[in-house]
Amino acid sequence: MKARYFTVLLFLLIYVKANAQKEEQKQLLRLEQQAKTAAEKNLDSLENYAKKGIELANKLNKKQSLLTFKRLIGHQAYKQSNYKKAAENLIEAIKIGETQSVSAEYIRALFDASELYRQIDQDTSMNYIRKGLFQANSLKDKTLIGDGFNRLGYAFELRNLNDSAVYYYKKGLQINIELKNKIGTSYAYESVAGILNKQGKHLLALDYLHKAYQLRIEVNDKFAQSISLINIGETSKALKRNDSAIFYAKKAYQTASQIAFLDLMAHCDNFISGIYKEQGNFAKALEYKEKHHVLRDSIYNTAKAKQIAELNTKYQTQKNQQQIKILSQSSTINQLKIKQKNFLLGIAITVIIGGIILTYFILNRRKLKAKSILQAEIIKQQDIASKAVLDAEERERRRIAGDLHDGVGQMLSAALMNLNGLFAKLNLQKETNLQAEKALALVNESYDEMRSISHQMMPNALIKSGLASAVKEFIGKLDQDKLKVTLETVGLNERLEEQTETVIYRVIQETVNNVVKHAEASKLDIQIIKDEEGISVTIEDNGKGFDKNKNNLKNGIGLSNIYSRVEFLKGTVDIDSTEGKGTLVAIHLP
């Protein structure tokens, strides 16, 4: 009888605990949704939902939920110009994400961090974007991929690499239009407008900005609307439409004030003050300048007030906890007797559940460890095989180049010397002399062709001086009157690995030869950049281009070689071309 009673009580306790945990998980999901809704509407209630959610997520050890709340707090803090709070929460969210499986919230945290660091550390910002884009590709999430392309384009624009910026803006725009993602499309339109403004095409830029603003009205994003309005105002000023510029700046101020976007409000006041000053209306200029200073001071004071409020909240919380502790001591004494009775029962349940969990983890760990060892060995063998193929190919090229130079080259050189000496001694007739001169010219041409082939197979500059010198020597032999070639290298202060240098040189050699033979171009830009993420190579011409939809890019022998060489080093090749608008080849080696 006692055994039956014990069994029923055990199952009842397990059921109660499981049911309570299930209800807490439902509550956590509700808090996540409420926080996301508050974030979309720029409500201060986000902080309240997030605070409750963080407490519950810690209790249930739900790391992904904790990441979400930290990311939302950081994003809202950035909008409200509280950069210290934004940085603390976003970095914490990223740290959590790095310990979990890849999620969309983790990628958004990386993108938010890139935006936060954009104006203070471009390299850090670029690293966050590339990391986020890589993870978005692993999830095959087109919305996040489109967002990443837009951010990458802006990062290149800040570095004045406008061709690369436009390339990634267009990729982002294409994906967002395909997904019918209105807010993503609006940011892509705004990005293209920024480039057009730099190029002095203000009317065309204005058209793109109005398209972006209309989409942001449709999704009711006040934050994005305010940015569109001030951009329209600044573009109107560039067109010397000062009345329109003031109108849109005031409208931007009004929209930003609805969400307490203090930085933009201060910027609007400063912008309007500048226009009035140019018009000679110094009273108005002074009025808006004073409003600007008041707002800037307000941003500082608000930040200080929030810090004081946070300290006060911590103090009150500690004080309340102490009072609760005093009150709970009396009830704790009464509960001790009950806990003593349940103690043995709890130990029994813990031992049973602990044994099951421990067995599961031991078996699962062994399985994962074996799988990890097998996967690592497969990758290792693949790397060894890939490097062996490249090494064998390059050794064969060197051997053939050496044989041509030392064998065939010396024989041709000797033949030339003998022929020149023979023709000098013989008194040939006119017709015979012409034939002899033709034969001598053919031998000369063969010798030059042999030397050219030998050098292309393995240039001395690549072996002795490195990639940059070899590429400079290669393009220096092109006819600059027909094809103007520019080369830009960044970060190539030290030699790269021999295989990497050889692959990049072969790819550039093959691509340039294709441009010379087929593109009918007059201008060719080559860019090689080495940074912490890897090596990026872009080759862009202004030739006739081609339709990618009508051509299978991997069918040609030359392009097939490019793809296979880059894939050996786990890199990526992206070719963008339009008929009549040239071709861009973008290569990235990690």
Cα separation, 471 vs 413, whole angstroms: 28
- Quick one: which of 79, 144, 158, 164 has its CA closest to 116? 79
- Range in 83-92, 172-181, 379-388, 492-501 with the lowest mean pLDDT: 379-388
Residue 536 has pLDDT above 80, yes or no: yes
Please give the structure tokens belonging to residue 447: 């010798």
422-436: average pLDDT: 64
Q: Please compute, for residue 452, the number of CA atoms within 13 A of its CA located in the half-sphere on the CB side.
A: 7
The pLDDT value recorded for residue 308 is 37
Token pair in block for residue 511? 């691509």
DSSP string covering 518-570, please?
II--SEEEEEEEEETTEEEEEEEE-S----GGGS-TTTSHHHHHHHHHHHHTT
The mean per-residue pLDDT over the stretch 84-105 comes to 88
The closest of 348, 413, 384 to 499, measured between CA atoms, is 384
Among 44-53, 200-209, 406-415, 558-567, which range has the highest average pLDDT? 200-209
Average confidence (pLDDT) over 169-186:
85
pLDDT for position 568:
74
Which ranges of 219-281 would DSSP assign to H, the alpha helix? 222-238, 242-257, 262-279
The residue ranking higher by pLDDT, 579 or 313, is: 579
Predicted pLDDT of residue 307: 46
Which range, of 48-62, 492-506, 553-567, averages the lowest pLDDT?
553-567
Residue 139 and residue 107 in contact, taking contact as beta carbons nearer than 8 Å = yes
In Å, how far from its chain's centre is CA 29? 30
What tens digit of pLDDT does each residue of 222-272 get? Answer: 888 899 999 999 999 999 988 888 999 999 999 988 888 888 898 999 999
Percentage above 90 pLDDT, the chain: 7
* pLDDT on residue 305: 45
Flag the least confident range among 8-22, 44-58, 80-94: 8-22
Please, where in the chain does CATH 1.25.40.10 lie? 31-139
% helix / strand / coil in the chain, to the nearest 5?
A: 80, 5, 15
**Homologous superfamily, domain 31-139:** Tetratricopeptide repeat domain (1.25.40.10)
Question: pLDDT-based confidence at 552, cuts 50/70/90?
Answer: low
- For the ranges 88-92, 100-104, 560-564, the lowest mean pLDDT is seen at 560-564
- Give residue 53's pLDDT: 85
Higher pLDDT, 349 or 142: 142
With respect to CATH, is domain 464-589 assigned 3.60.70.12? Answer: no
User: What mean pLDDT do residues 410-437 have?
Assistant: 64
Mean pLDDT of the chain: 77
Q: Kindly report, as residue ranges, where domains of CATH 3.30.565.10 are found in the chain.
A: 464-589
CA distance 299 to 261: 10
Q: Decide if 76 contacts 93 (C-beta within 8 A).
A: no
Rg (CA), the chain: 34
Q: Is the pLDDT of residue 502 over 60?
A: yes
C-beta atoms surrounding 138 within 10 Å: 10
Q: For 95-127, how does the pLDDT look when each residue is reduced to its tens digit (9 = 90+)?
A: 998 888 889 989 999 988 888 887 678 888 889
Least confident of 267-276, 440-449, 480-489, 532-541: 440-449
